[in-house]
Chain A
Amino acid sequence: MTTVALYLRSREVPAGVLCAVPAMVAVAWLGSGPAESRHAVTAAALAVALGVAVLGHGLGGPDSTLDATAAIRWAPRRALHLAAILVVAAAVVAIVTTAPVAVVLRDAAGFTGLAALAAALFGRRLAWTLPVVTGCVSAGIPAVPEPFALYLLTWAGQPPDSPVALTTALIFAVAGAAMYVTRGPARPAPL
């Protein structure tokens, strides 16, 4: 128990949850108009992106180089952490929003993968970048079926029965998770 508490504290998870949950609730609630409207879907996508971006800060500790020296099998812990972020983000948004649950789950998987990718590439402080940029692009552009490039870019706002959007989210999830679980957060360059 102490280990878990220490881990969560070192990753600043309590503060992250305290910030992420109200933020997600606020954004999802702002967009929860008539059920299944396009606006509700984009707001839900944006809420998930925001929550995952904030929670993604916990994907690394203050000193990743020091973490790497520990005789601990990090891989399962990292995987567990990613799964926890996905579940928390998806659960909070799914409760508030009027958008379909399938959309929330798909977006949570995709954005969690993107946050993991950003954490592995740029470190925890920039873990927010990929989810926020992708979330803004997805939510700011109307989710149109044509052309294919725009269809891909707006994956997070597409309807739940879109196989392409699901595939895109899964690719992000798998690629991000694989990279983060095997490599861990990026280590800051030595000064």
Chain B
Amino acid sequence: MSGILGIELRRSGALLAGTATAVLGVAGLYLLALTGQTGLWDQQWHLLAVFQRIMLVVLWPLALAAGAWQAGRDRRSRIEELLGTTPAPGWRRLRPSSLATALALAAGYLLVLAAGAPKVATAAGHPGSGWWAVVAVGVLALVAAGFLGLGLGRLLPYAYTPAVLGAGSLAGLLAAIEVTKLDDATVPGPALLLPFFTSTISEFQEVAGSVSTGQAWWLGGLALGGLVLYLATNRLVRLLAVVPPALGLALAAPMLTVTAFPVDTAAVAEVCTTDGGPRVCVTAAHSRKLAVLVAPAREGLRLLAKLPDAPASVHEAAPGRAHPQPASEAWLDSDNLSQAADPAELTARILAGAGTPLCARNEESAYLDVLRARAVAAAWLYGSHPVPGPAYAAAEQAQRDTMWKTLVALPAGEQERRVAAVRAAGLTCGDQAAALGIGAGR
């Protein structure tokens, strides 16, 4: 078998298809490095696996076209009839070429993973688990494309089949994205049947195990159907090719109704300092940033000690961390870790809202007022205004200056009471702008 397989690999487009998959995939990963956007996939193993699945939007139709091209080889070489005279059953003769196609495509997909792996290994905070299932389903999706291409190429043995399948299937899939997008929020199910993911996840999310299982059933059914179509020698067996995909769909449908991308509990688990000083904790996903956070966080705790009932530890608050926040902890929004330019700015960001994360949403009308109140509270704790950080537009800065002057004009006890109120409001996700009581219309 390995002898025949070797010949098939040498005398077919399979290796070329695998190479093209690998080259396009690696280019897709590293083109993002030109704009410093590799954060889209190198933060977590799960992110790399999902990003590869997103790239299947291009690779999947091309694998389909490659399969169809492969299926037409005997006919192009005009040896169909000659081979038909051999006593061996047809499926036995076709089996090695399907195996070669599958192996080459799978190897190409895994090469992309291998190319991305070194970068993820140096950036990812924790090894993660379960992401290999996402990779395995991706391999299965690509192999299913190859097999479907082989089957359809044998069913429609025309010179135009590969081109029409390649570009046509992409057009169909893009239209399917548009259709499933409409009800994405309420019913994610149909979009999960596409051979690729249409959206990326955050470093705190994972792909639900049942989604991977369901997709494996559906794509496995598709692959088996394509294989039956390719190897079948009579019409009746060809008709049976619809059975595996239908069966796969029936098995998959109930599994795809769950939350597709739940919170990865291993990624949001806390990693804390153990050196005896005030505790500083980050999520496992950001465990590499703990060393950067420790000094600014302890400086922040020292400054927060001006308040009554001051916090004793700093924690990174991943999106969706359950409130209320204990009074003994200072929380810091996750994105501050990557946005802060230097330690002083990181300290100022911890002090924003007196050690509470931002609760107001961008679309709320009071959003800007809350940001200003948080910045003024940080300045009071930091001891100077403005605090280290990015500069604001002149009008915005003038408003903050006015609020700062109003605050420091108050009696010392009242200043402390107002900032403590900002912290108290932040602990329960209350209105921090109202708690400070300074600013436009207050």
Residues of chain A from 143 to 162 with CB closer than 8 A to chain B in the complex? 146-150, 153
Given A33-B178, A125-B76; A54-B170 close (CB under 8 Å) = no
Q: B171 to A30, Cβ gap below 8 A? A: yes
Q: Give chain A residues whose Cβ lies under 8 Å from the Cβ of B164.
A: 19, 23, 50, 54
Given A136-B62, A136-B170, A146-B35; A30-B175 close (CB under 8 Å) = yes
Q: Give chain A residues whose Cβ lies under 8 Å from the Cβ of B62.
A: 132-133, 136
Among the 9-residue stretches A40-48, A91-99, A171-179, the one with 4 or more Cβ atoms under 8 Å from chain B is: A40-48
Q: B167 to A53, Cβ gap below 8 A? A: yes
Q: A139 to B170, Cβ gap below 8 A? A: yes
Please measure, in the bound complex, the distance between the C-alpha atom of A39 and the C-alpha atom of B175, giving whole angstroms. 9
B262 within 8 A of A: no
Q: Give chain B residues whose Cβ lies under 8 Å from the Cβ of A20.
A: 160
Please measure, in the bound complex, the distance between the C-alpha atom of A57 and the C-alpha atom of B28, giving whole angstroms. 29
Q: Give chain B residues whose Cβ lies under 8 Å from the Cβ of A137.
A: 24, 58
Q: Give chain B residues whose Cβ lies under 8 Å from the Cβ of A125.
A: 76, 159
Please measure, in the bound complex, the distance between the C-alpha atom of A33 and the C-alpha atom of B24, giving whole angstroms. 29
B65: nearest chain-A partner, CB-CB = A132
Query: What 0/1 pattern do residues 1 to 43 of B give for CB contact below 8 A with A?
Result: 0000000000000000000100010001001101100000000
B176: nearest chain-A partner, CB-CB = A30
**Contacting residue for B171 out of A43, A57, A133, CB 8 A:** A43
Given A30-B175, A146-B35, A147-B34; A136-B159 close (CB under 8 Å) = no
Q: B57 to A140, Cβ gap below 8 A? A: yes
Chain B: residues with Cβ within 8 Å of the partner, total of 28
Given A30-B172, A43-B171, A149-B34; A132-B163 close (CB under 8 Å) = yes
**Contacting residue for A140 out of B20, B34, B58, B168, CB 8 A:** B58
Please measure, in the bound complex, the distance between the C-alpha atom of A154 and the C-alpha atom of B412, giving whole angstroms. 61
Residues of chain A from 7 to 41 with CB closer than 8 A to chain B in the complex? 12, 16, 19-20, 23, 26-27, 30-31, 33, 39
Q: B174 to A39, Cβ gap below 8 A? A: yes
Q: Give chain B residues whose Cβ lies under 8 Å from the Cβ of A131.
A: 163, 167
B300 within 8 A of A: no
Q: Give chain A residues whose Cβ lies under 8 Å from the Cβ of B159.
A: 12, 57, 125
Q: B58 to A136, Cβ gap below 8 A? A: yes
B153 within 8 A of A: no
Q: A49 to B167, Cβ gap below 8 A? A: yes
Q: Give chain B residues whose Cβ lies under 8 Å from the Cβ of A57.
A: 159-160, 163
Q: Give chain A residues whose Cβ lies under 8 Å from the Cβ of B67.
A: none
Please measure, in the bound complex, the distance between the C-alpha atom of A128 and the C-alpha atom of B24, giving whole angstroms. 18
B162 within 8 A of A: yes
Between-chain CB contacts (< 8 Å), 19 pairs? A23-B168, A27-B167, A27-B168, A27-B171, A30-B172, A30-B174, A31-B174, A46-B170, A47-B171, A53-B163, A128-B162, A132-B62, A132-B65, A135-B170, A139-B171, A139-B174, A148-B34, A149-B31, A153-B31
Most chain-A CB neighbours within 10 Å: which of B31, B167, B170, B175?
B167
A83 within 8 A of B: no
Q: Give chain B residues whose Cβ lies under 8 Å from the Cβ of A149.
A: 31, 34
Q: Give chain A residues whose Cβ lies under 8 Å from the Cβ of B221.
A: none
**Contacting residue for B160 out of A19, A26, A47, A150, CB 8 A:** A19
Which secondary structure dominates where chain A touches chain B? helix
Query: Which 9 residue pairs across A and B have the least CB separation, nearest first?
Result: A128-B163, A140-B58, A147-B34, A50-B167, A53-B163, A27-B171, A132-B166, A147-B35, A30-B175
Q: B31 to A135, Cβ gap below 8 A? A: no
**Nearest Cβ on chain B to A122's Cβ, whole angstroms:** 11
Please measure, in the bound complex, the distance between the C-alpha atom of A83 and the C-alpha atom of B160, giving whole angstroms. 21
Q: Give chain B residues whose Cβ lies under 8 Å from the Cβ of A132.
A: 62, 65, 162-163, 166-167
B167: nearest chain-A partner, CB-CB = A50
A141 within 8 A of B: yes
Please measure, in the bound complex, the distance between the C-alpha atom of A147 and the C-alpha atom of B35, giving whole angstroms. 6
Please measure, in the bound complex, the distance between the C-alpha atom of A16 and the C-alpha atom of B24, giving whole angstroms. 29
Please measure, in the bound complex, the distance between the C-alpha atom of A81 and the C-alpha atom of B272, giving whole angstroms. 71
Q: Give chain B residues whose Cβ lies under 8 Å from the Cβ of A16.
A: 160
Please measure, in the bound complex, the distance between the C-alpha atom of A54 and the C-alpha atom of B160, giving whole angstroms. 6
**Nearest Cβ on chain B to A144's Cβ, whole angstroms:** 9
**Nearest Cβ on chain B to A39's Cβ, whole angstroms:** 6
Q: Give chain B residues whose Cβ lies under 8 Å from the Cβ of A47.
A: 171
Please measure, in the bound complex, the distance between the C-alpha atom of A121 and the C-alpha atom of B166, giving whole angstroms. 20
Not counting A26-B168, A31-B175, A147-B32, a sample of 20 additional A-B residue pairs whose C-beta atoms are within 8 angstroms of each other reads A16-B160, A23-B164, A27-B167, A31-B171, A33-B178, A46-B170, A50-B163, A57-B160, A125-B76, A128-B65, A132-B65, A133-B62, A135-B170, A136-B166, A140-B58, A140-B170, A140-B174, A149-B31, A150-B34, A153-B31
B61 within 8 A of A: yes
Please measure, in the bound complex, the distance between the C-alpha atom of A43 and the C-alpha atom of B164, giving whole angstroms. 14
Q: B171 to A46, Cβ gap below 8 A? A: yes
Most chain-B CB neighbours within 10 Å: which of A26, A136, A139, A153?
A136
Q: Give chain A residues whose Cβ lies under 8 Å from the Cβ of B170.
A: 46, 135-136, 139-140
Q: Give chain B residues whose Cβ lies under 8 Å from the Cβ of A147.
A: 31-32, 34-35
Q: Give chain A residues whose Cβ lies under 8 Å from the Cβ of B162.
A: 128, 132
B158: nearest chain-A partner, CB-CB = A19
**Nearest Cβ on chain A to B79's Cβ, whole angstroms:** 12
Query: What 0/1 pattern do residues 111 to 134 of A give for CB contact below 8 A with B?
Result: 000000000000001001001110
Q: Give chain A residues whose Cβ lies under 8 Å from the Cβ of B58.
A: 136-137, 140-141
Residues of chain B from 54 to 110 with CB closer than 8 A to chain A in the complex? 57-58, 61-62, 65, 76
A141: nearest chain-B partner, CB-CB = B58
Most chain-A CB neighbours within 10 Å: which of B32, B35, B163, B175?
B163
Please measure, in the bound complex, the distance between the C-alpha atom of A57 and the C-alpha atom of B159, giving whole angstroms. 8
Please measure, in the bound complex, the distance between the C-alpha atom of A133 and the C-alpha atom of B170, giving whole angstroms. 11
Please measure, in the bound complex, the distance between the C-alpha atom of A30 and the C-alpha atom of B175, giving whole angstroms. 7
**Nearest Cβ on chain A to B48's Cβ, whole angstroms:** 18
